[in-house]
Amino acid sequence: MMYLSYCGIRVTDLERSLRFYTELFGLKEVARGDRTKHGAGIYVLLRDPKSHQKLELNWYPERSRYGVPYMPGEGLDHIAFKVDDVTKVFGTLVSRGVEATEIDPSVMGGWSAYVKDPDGNWIEIYQQGPSTDSPIPEGY
């Protein structure tokens, strides 16, 4: 099983963007996480109450390897597909010539990996962990 789960955009001011999408567009916060200790940033998952579509806001500190200079129009952070087996899907994609990033399943504890589309846009493949302490919140 594989399906499009959400789109993630990079933001420069998380609280400002959170107010924008919740107050003006009616999106509701359903999950939040801090991955700064892993070299990433802070994310907030929003959901539209009518369509149930999800948007992830991603903010990265300057010291993060993802905290590169922000260029307007280049804010798409990644597109995410939920899968049953990250390692298997990742291996299949790479064997078919899809370019992997440095974030493969071994780096993310087996629950997430990233590949690139032909234009270099990042695509996350992830699976929900079996335990309640999974780094992927149930809202995804």
User: What is the average per-residue pLDDT within 75-100?
Assistant: 91
Q: Whole-angstrom Cα distance, residue 35 to residue 47?
A: 20
Task: Please work out, in degrees rounded to the nearest 5, the angle formed at the alpha carbon of residue 60 by the alpha carbons of 83 and 91.
Answer: 25
| Known catalytic membership, residue 99 | no
Q: Whole-angstrom Cα distance, residue 107 to residue 6?
A: 22
Interval 42-58: pLDDT, tens? 999 999 999 899 999 99
The structure tokens 């590169």 sit at 68
Query: Taking 60 as the threshold, does the pLDDT of residue 133 lie above it?
Result: no
Which SS3 state, helix, strand or coil, does residue 43 take? strand
Domain boundaries, the chain: 2-126
Selected catalytic residue, list 62, 99, 124, 138: 124
pTM over 0.75: no
pLDDT computed for residue 138 by the predictor: 63
Which CATH number applies to 2-126? 3.10.180.10
